[in-house]
């Protein structure tokens, strides 16, 4: 084992480093969540999806809004279904047909954002544009242990999709495919309508706590006689 080591938050990023042939000491340590898992579930009186944080650059809600608008107009979702955006700083291009359905909330401390995610939401949405391989986003870990289904609009052949499949914590749709997004939204809607909870794999989820991820690093350093 080389005396040099490199850590990163996902295997694809480490694979890129490894391909440069610098050395062979690579370790994946993810960000992880740092709060107690919440197993209890409450359902809102109207179907409510939420996104916490800002939209910026190529991270935009346009395809999500379009899919949601089409489902409303097609009668596939109740007219009073809600999209709640928490903490976005930028102007959003909300279709006229769903202006009444989209609620914009000012930025709040992280603890309050978690409370909203846990107590005032039926589905937690993340938007991750195509072309950003190997990036989980800290938002995914904040969502993971809430016991609310995650709707990830992302690359369906990347780490976010793999983690949701591994943990059973939500649904994935291709971020650029309106039809795929609509089908995923309906899956979430049926969970809410039938008052059903996804059968998450909590043992696998717990592997993504910050404590567990830190332990991976501690064990590695100990094995390399780096940790005194």
Establish how many alpha carbons lie within 13 A of residue 187's alpha carbon, considering only the half-sphere containing its beta carbon: 16
Element (H, E) at 144: helix 138-144
Q: Which residue has the higher pLDDT, 214 or 48?
A: 48
Predicted local distance difference test score (pLDDT) of residue 189: 98
Q: Which residue has the higher pLDDT, 225 or 125?
A: 125
What's the whole-number mean pLDDT along residues 53-65?
A: 93
* Best CA proximity match to 187, nearest among 141, 143, 122: 122
Summarised one tens digit per residue, pLDDT across range 82-128 is 999 999 988 899 999 999 999 999 999 989 999 999 999 999 999 99
* Best CA proximity match to 114, nearest among 138, 143, 134: 143
CA distance 155 to 173: 8
Predicted local distance difference test score (pLDDT) of residue 6: 55
Going by C-beta distance under 8 Å and a sequence separation of 6 or more, which residues neighbour residue 101? Answer: 68, 72, 79, 80, 81, 82, 83
pTM: 0.84
Provide φ and ψ at 159, rounded to 5°.
Answer: -65, -35
Summarised one tens digit per residue, pLDDT across range 200-224 is 999 999 988 878 767 766 666 677 6
Count other C-beta atoms under 10 Å from residue 20's C-beta. 7
Q: How far from 196 is each of 125, 145, 192, CA to CA, in Å?
A: 18, 17, 6
CA distance 112 to 118: 10
- Whether the pLDDT of residue 27 is over 70: the answer is no
pLDDT band for 32, please (50, 70, 90 cuts).
confident
What's the whole-number mean pLDDT along residues 68-88?
A: 96
CA distance 127 to 175: 7
DSSP state of 26: E
- Tokens 């291709």 found at: 174
Predicted local distance difference test score (pLDDT) of residue 218: 65
Chain centre to alpha carbon of residue 136 = 8
* Best CA proximity match to 8, nearest among 223, 159, 153, 142: 159
Give me 17's structure tokens. 């480093």
How many degrees, rounded to 5, is the angle at CA 209 between CA 169 and CA 130?
Answer: 55
* Best CA proximity match to 64, nearest among 112, 127, 132: 127
CA distance 86 to 88: 6
* Domains assigned to the chain: 6-32+209-223 (no CATH), 48-201 (3.40.50.2000)
- Whether the pLDDT of residue 25 is over 50: the answer is yes
Predicted local distance difference test score (pLDDT) of residue 33: 85
First vs last C-alpha separation in the chain: 19
């Amino acid at each position: 084992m080389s005396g040099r080591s490199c850590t990163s938050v996902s295997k694809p990023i480490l694979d890129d480093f490894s391909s440069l042939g610098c050395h062979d000491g690579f370790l994946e340590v993810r960000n992880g969540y740092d709060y107690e898992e919440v197993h209890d579930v409450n359902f809102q009186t109207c179907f409510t999806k939420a996104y916490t944080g800002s939209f910026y650059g190529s991270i935009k809600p346009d395809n999500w809004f379009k899919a949601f608008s089409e489902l409303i107009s097609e009668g596939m979702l109740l007219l009073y279904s809600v999209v709640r955006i928490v903490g976005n700083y930028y102007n959003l291009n909300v279709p006229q047909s769903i202006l009444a359905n989209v609620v914009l909330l000012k930025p709040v401390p992280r603890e309050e954002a978690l409370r909203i995610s846990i107590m005032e939401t039926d589905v937690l949405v993340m938007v991750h544009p195509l072309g950003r391989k190997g990036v989980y986003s800290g938002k995914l870990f904040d969502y993971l242990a809430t016991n609310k289904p995650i709707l990830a609009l992302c690359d369906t052949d990347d780490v976010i999709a793999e983690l949701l499949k591994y943990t059973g914590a939500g649904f994935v749709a291709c971020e650029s495919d309106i039809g795929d997004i609509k089908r995923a939204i309906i899956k979430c809607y049926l969970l809410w309508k039938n008052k059903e909870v996804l059968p998450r794999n909590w043992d696998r989820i717990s592997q993504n706590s910050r404590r567990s991820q830190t332990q991976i690093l501690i064990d590695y350093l100990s094995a390399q006689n780096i940790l005194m």
